[in-house]
């Protein structure tokens, strides 16, 4: 499951994103949160110096679908589509009936890259 980059995660935190996430960043290292079947406690795992510790300055690392849901709650709909040139994103703001014209924006090789670019555009320009 694709999570947002550290930079996007920081911006989301600044904009008030608060949803339960299975991954977090400690520093700029991605940490996975899994539940221990033995103790039913949350454990944090990563492959670096932070193994099995919790740090109070963590930043949520949501998945792309989690961010898209959060944006919809704010009446901002981000769509991805594909044409002959590649993947692209479209943005509609339902409150203002505003639609971002992305015809001249970059095309991307994957859905995920287009969605991440759209998320970053919304965070930087619309929220």
Phi, psi of 108 (to 5 degrees): -120, 155
Query: What percentage of the chain's residues is helix, strand, coil (to nearest 5)?
Result: 25, 30, 45
Residues 53 and 31 in one domain: yes
Q: What is the pTM of this model?
A: 0.75
Is the pLDDT at 9 greater than 70? The verdict is: yes
In a domain? residue 99 = yes
Q: Are residues 39 and 87 in the same domain?
A: no
Cα–Cα dist 71/4, whole Å: 14
Question: Is there a domain that residue 29 lies in?
Answer: yes
Provide the token pair at 113.
Answer: 């890259």
Q: What would the pLDDT profile of 37-80 be if each residue is shown by its tens digit? A: 444 444 444 444 444 444 456 788 899 999 999 999 999 999 89
Cα–Cα distance measured from residue 44 to residue 3, given in angstroms and rounded to the nearest whole number? 16
Domain co-membership, 90 together with 75: yes
Candidates 81, 84, 83; CA nearest to 111 is 81
Q: Is residue 80 located within the same domain as residue 108?
A: yes
Domain-located, residue 75: yes
CA nearest 108: which of 100, 119, 98?
119
What residues are paired with 81 via a beta bridge? Answer: 88
What residue numbers bound the domain in which 34 lies?
20-61
Tokens of 107: 């095309």
What's the confidence (pLDDT) of residue 99?
75
Beta bridge partners of 26: 29
Residue 14 is assigned to a structural domain of this protein: no
pLDDT at 35: 47
Separation CA 119–CA 91 (nearest Å): 9
pLDDT single digits (tens) 92-110: 887 666 677 666 678 999 9
């Amino acid at each position: 499951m694709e999570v947002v980059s550290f930079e996007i995660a920081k911006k989301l935190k600044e904009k008030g994103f608060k949803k339960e996430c299975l991954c977090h960043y400690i520093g700029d290292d991605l940490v996975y949160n899994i539940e221990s079947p033995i103790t039913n406690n949350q454990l944090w795992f990563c492959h670096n110096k932070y193994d099995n510790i919790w740090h109070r300055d963590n930043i949520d690392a949501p998945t792309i679908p989690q961010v898209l849901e959060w944006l919809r709650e704010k009446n901002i709909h981000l769509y991805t589509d594909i044409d002959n040139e590649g993947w692209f994103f479209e943005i509609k703001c339902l409150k203002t009936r505003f639609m971002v014209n992305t015809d001249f924006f970059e095309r991307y090789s994957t859905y995920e890259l287009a969605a991440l670019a759209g998320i970053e555009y919304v965070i930087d320009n619309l929220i």
